Amino acid sequence: MKNGVMMQYFEWNLPNDGQLWKQLKEDAPHLAERGITAVWIPPAYKADEQADEGYATYDLYDFGEFDQKGSVRTKYGTRAQLHEAIEALHANGVQVLLDAVLNHKAGGDYAEQFNAIEVKGDNRNEIIGKQRRIEAMTGYSFPGRGDKYSSYKWHWSDFSGVDYDSLTDTHAIFRITGKGKGWSQGVDSENGNYDYLLANDIDLDRPQVRRELFRWGRWATEQFGFDGFRMDAIKHMDYNFTRDFVADVRAACGEQFYVVGEYWSGDIDTLEDFIEHTGGTLDIFDAPLHYNFHGASEEGSSFDMATLLDGTLVERHPELAVTLVDNHDSQPGSSLESSVADWFKPMAYALILLMSEGYPVIFYGDYYSENRVASPHRHIIDLLLDLRRSHALGEQTLYFDHPSCVGLVRHGVANVPGSGLVLLMSNDLAGNKEMSLGPLRAGETWHEVTGAVNEDVVLDAEGTATFTVPARSLAVWIRKQL
């Protein structure tokens, strides 16, 4: 996505009022005007209850069309309203990426009995006790939808694990046993084997399951015109399935079909292992960069800013890096809570929006509101979005050479007069740095545009000047139009 910007258009605490698709439709022109080129929408299909955010997936084919799980609409609206939102976004040149949750299902319609064995939570390869008969809600008949769109019905044999046995009222992790059953091997090694995450874990090694999910990927794209998927929880999914699913949907929808995967690990070596096994066929969220931002915001002046990009995807694999500051899983109260402190967020957004590498994501909670509290960052994000389009162009020089004051230069391009910028960030005292735009910019007057610094600077004969930044803040400098 050349110079694109994605927005995650939801946060964890949105009201269950069925209004998100309507809001998104109305917001489409504004998003395009601000320079948003793609919107990542939440899981849009029926969950185990209406209030669920969509990750407790019940029926992938019910986008708010059938009376199932107590309602027709989802938390976000109806299928018709989703169609209208997508049409509005496309009319404004904004792509739509659906959150695809293919790791697990929840809210089964009836109980089934089968053989399973309990395993330890912190080592799923270690068995507790003996194989026994258990009972869980693994039968899916979809009574509200019937066979429309798909006649496939799910049973215990389509899953590899569950988290509850109703026969003994036991909450634990149970690996389903039988011919061909077992944890997938192409998954993260945390907890011994991290195939199991929650609810009824889908057996992605089962051929008929793979065929059904491949079919759904093509069907959903054809029905709604999605431009791509955000694939949830891929660290818990067999990497062979992920690679093959992406190849299958692209075979049907075109090689331009975009896919970004959520492999939530702060370890760059783990991410590189996944990239090697999947051949770099999909982009990945830069979780290591997020954790660097989080650490910098927590540690304050003791954090070495020169290491801010160390061990990140955008450093090692910039062509695959989707850069982010926060998301629904990292925000306060979420399962992976690691939110970036407010004082540091403007700097984090400045870096992902103004540097040349990476595909940046703006989080709904940081732009609009989080838990119904308006974000204090919208103004600076709007400014940075404007600068990204008009000035953050051309070659880049990094100045990550000081423990508290770092920055970068974008040198601009000839066909956009006045383009180019200087970014400085400090996590401690006010600072300054000599930075060069090159001799072709000699004599230009530059000014700071966030309001942080009042004095202009003039580039010398080599196109160099000393730029300043206030304490614990950022400064962005551009050529002054005289």
With vertex at residue 189, the alpha carbon angle to CA 178 and CA 48, rounded to the nearest 5 degrees, is 60
Give the count of beta carbons closer than 10 Å to the beta carbon of residue 432.
15
- Measure the CA–CA gap between 75 and 16, rounded to whole angstroms: 5
State the burial class of residue 131 (Cβ atoms within 10 Å of its Cβ: 0-12, 13-18, 19+): middle
The enclosing H or E element of 24 equals helix 20-34
Given a contact cutoff of 8 angstroms between Cβ atoms, the answer to whether 105 and 202 are in contact is: yes
Tokens of 227: 């431009």
The torsion angle over the Cα atoms of residues 466, 469, 475 and 476, rounded to 10 degrees, is 0
Task: Tell me the chain's radius of gyration from C-alpha atoms.
Answer: 24
Tokens 């990497």 correspond to 239
Helices (H), 163-227: 207-224
Diameter of the chain measured on Cα atoms: 81
- For residue 356, how far is the Cα from the chain centroid? 19
Active site residues: 232, 262
Residues 6+ apart with CB under 8 A from 146: none
- Measure the CA–CA gap between 105 and 54, rounded to whole angstroms: 11
User: 52: left (phi > 0), else alpha (psi -120 to 50), else beta?
Assistant: beta
- Measure the CA–CA gap between 481 and 186, rounded to whole angstroms: 55
Tokens of 22: 């309507």
- For residue 464, how far is the Cα from the chain centroid? 38
Strands 321-324 and 359-363: parallel
Tokens of 292: 């660097």
Residue 432 φ/ψ, nearest 5 degrees: -150, 160
Given a contact cutoff of 8 angstroms between Cβ atoms, the answer to whether 409 and 435 are in contact is: yes
Amino acid type, 54: G
Which residues partner with 140 through β-bridges? 154
Which residues partner with 99 through β-bridges? 230
Given a contact cutoff of 8 angstroms between Cβ atoms, the answer to whether 327 and 363 are in contact is: yes
